[in-house]
Amino acid sequence: MPTPLRAFSLNILLLAALLAPGATKADTTGALRGLQSFHLATQKSLADFYMYNSMEGDQRYARMIDTSRQEAREQLGKLADLPDVGAARLQAQLQQQWQAYDQELTTLMTALQKQGFTDLQPVADMAARNRQVLATAQALYEALLRMDGNAVSEQMNSTRQLSLLMQSIAVNYAARSAAVGASFSADSSERPIEELVADFAARLIALRGQAGNSAAINTTLDGVATKWRYIENSLRNYNEKSVPFVVSKYSDSIIRSLTEAGELYAQQGNS
């Protein structure tokens, strides 16, 4: 091989080696974000079903269920061709579990439309399937993190955990409002709602106290705290007065703001 051509080839190989880790990190970060969106959408579809049940078939919640399901399908579809064998196996398992859950949700919505009510056992089975899907999604998330431990910062992970916790609280509260009980929630540990609420409050305080927060992050987290205070007492005293519509509305807004905070943390880390 002529010397100039050999030098050119070596330069190309060196450039590819330098770019590969960055590309892998970008792919892993994107997959983690997509999986987070899938996790939240799957949780929310169950909360929306309980709202649909308690609001006697209000079509607003039927549309919200469809939106959540579509989001989950789209995000799951983006997780194909994972390079890690273990992660790919979990993705295939997640796909199967999601399809089973999606079918159970369709069956129960049809029953509710036709009969005006649903039997408790099929609802319990669907809630158990939802928890199974979320557990596999979490296992896949952790597998992706092992592929690139630097893809998500500690602060970004904190906002993720808060988002999932807020959605768990919303599902738990909606389940109680629909008179199906806490065992039908999406929290796999089945912790009491009081414990979930206290956990969220403490984590939010810790996140707001991070010394490195930018002004934009603090403003976003202050907005989360304001919305949280609006529903916190209702969540702590859920047996006194049920306000599922308010909790559903504000929890959605809190999760959107936490997602925004996570993106701001990502930008701060890349600057």
Digitized pLDDT (tens) for each residue of the chain, 271 residues in all: 554 444 434 343 333 333 333 335 558 888 899 999 999 999 999 999 999 888 776 789 999 999 999 999 999 998 877 878 899 999 999 999 999 999 999 999 998 888 877 888 899 999 999 999 999 999 999 999 988 878 888 999 999 999 999 999 999 999 888 766 544 555 555 788 899 999 999 999 999 999 889 999 999 999 999 999 999 999 998 888 889 889 999 999 999 999 999 999 988 876 6
Q: What is the DSSP string of 59-70?
A: HHHHHHHHHHHH
At 184 the pLDDT is 53
Amino acid type, 257: S
Residue 189 confidence (pLDDT): 58
Task: Tell me the pLDDT of the chain averaged across its residues.
Answer: 85
Share of the chain above pLDDT 90, in %: 59
Q: Give the integer Cα–Cα distance in Å for 254 and 263.
A: 14
Of 10, 109, 4, 28, the closest CA to residue 64 belongs to 109
* pLDDT for the residue numbered 17: 33
Which residues, in sequence order, are CB contacts of 217 under 8 Å at separation 6+?
261, 264, 265, 268
Alpha helices in 116-192 (DSSP H): 120-147, 154-177
Q: 138 near 39, Cβ under 8 Å? A: yes
Residue 258's pLDDT is what? 97
Residue with tokens 């079918």: 103
Is the distance from CB of 258 to CB of 156 less than 8 angstroms? Answer: no
Packing angle, helices 244-270 and 3-54, rounded to 10: 170
